[in-house]
Amino acid sequence: MYVYKKMIYRVLFGFLDIIGGVLFSPVKFFRREERLKPERILLIRLDHIGDVVAATSVLEPLRKAFPRAVIDFMVPSWSKDIIKEDPFINEHIVFDAPWFDRKCNGIAKGIKGFFDMAKLLKDRQYDTVIDLRGDFRHIAAMFVARADKRISYGITGGGFLLTDKVPYEGTMHETDRNTALLKPLGVKCEASGVKLHLSRGEFHRADSLKKETGVKDPYAVVHVVPGHSAKAWDASRFSEVVEYLSKEKALQVVAVGSGDDKEFIRSIKINSSVEFVDLSGKTSLGTLAAILKGASLFVGVDSGPSHIAVAVGTLAVILFSGTNDPFQWVPKGDNVKIVFPGENKDLSSVSSEDVCKNIDEAVRV
């Protein structure tokens, strides 16, 4: 099973896997399976914030299974703040893969990034490496680094380079999919969940920022700009939701996001009759998590902040576009409600009344 949408990639990597499978099958046949406990483990998740949050579901069960092992977690720089305080890992390794940088183009940079990654893995002498994404480039780097145990999915090709290729099941929540990758190590998880650990410094910075910008309890956080245009919602409808939160729920509204989101947030302000605080571009991810934890409610599109809000225990109403399967991607928790227009449908059919109704239902719980 391949996750590529383009047929040319399915054919290309299908052919590569057939050739690789034939060449490597004798090696795997004569390879002696060792049952030694891993001593140096590396987890890899290098793409989006929400994916890194979901990946934390493996940390506690892995640590409980191997309390004396070194367990490191490789993440991109934009996600490090949400895992650097996690008590179940020894070290977070920052690696910005050029193939996940939207501003970085060029084959040369991609090749350099691949060999940089392979060198890092080899220098640190990990005996067990788990790629939580199932990415061909990561699998190849694991192989080049000669890790003894290489665990992942073969959904983008290169499964023949793995010592343990885990079956990829389509109908599975992402957190459960992550913990399924622990089975080759003998670790079984009946239920998986995510939890973020924040430092006192992050809460102190959040309190200082709230005081500086006039944020007072109780407040609701809104995040209005997703990472992909297919998940976007109309600014005028967000304005109506902002007014509802302020006038009907007596919540101060706080908008969050990156500095690039300011223009869209400004358009919401123009259409709204209530004032709200704009913190876009003013928070690190860790400080954002602390602000979300102090909120009475989160309302936003499917994005990294929505996953963080649920993970820190904040009540959340998420506008979930039909471009993704909510069964697989919605953050797990009793504190989340989704507004879902239907499979393969964008959010254009979702009204502000739909969202406000879900806010009412969420707040009553």
35 dihedral zone (left: phi>0; alpha: psi -120 to 50; beta): alpha
CB contact at 8 A, 285 and 79: yes
Distance, CA of 332 to CA of 195 (rounded, Å): 11
Maximum distance among all Cα pairs of the chain, rounded to whole angstroms: 72
User: 252-256 and 277-278 as β-strands: parallel, antiparallel, unpaired?
Assistant: parallel
User: What is the fold of 200-364?
Assistant: Rossmann fold (3.40.50)
pTM exceeds cut of 0.75: yes
pLDDT digits 0-9 by tens, 85-115? 999 999 999 999 999 987 766 788 999 999 9
- Tens of each residue's pLDDT in the chain, 365 residues: 777 778 887 878 777 878 877 776 665 545 555 556 899 999 999 999 999 999 999 999 999 999 999 999 999 999 999 999 999 999 999 999 999 987 766 788 999 999 999 999 999 999 999 999 999 999 999 999 999 999 999 999 999 999 999 999 877 889 999 999 999 999 987 766 788 999 999 999 999 999 999 999 999 999 999 988 889 999 999 999 999 999 999 999 999 999 999 999 999 999 888 999 999 999 999 999 999 999 999 999 999 999 999 999 999 999 999 888 888 889 988 899 999 999 889 999 999 999 999 999 988 64
Q: Dihedral through CA 91, CA 92, CA 94, CA 95, nearest 10?
A: 90
Same fold, 7-185 and 200-364: yes
For helices 235-247 and 262-270, angle between their N-to-C axes, nearest 10 degrees: 60
Domain residue spans of the chain: 7-185, 200-364
Amino acid at site 313: G
**Domain 7-185 top-level CATH class:** alpha beta
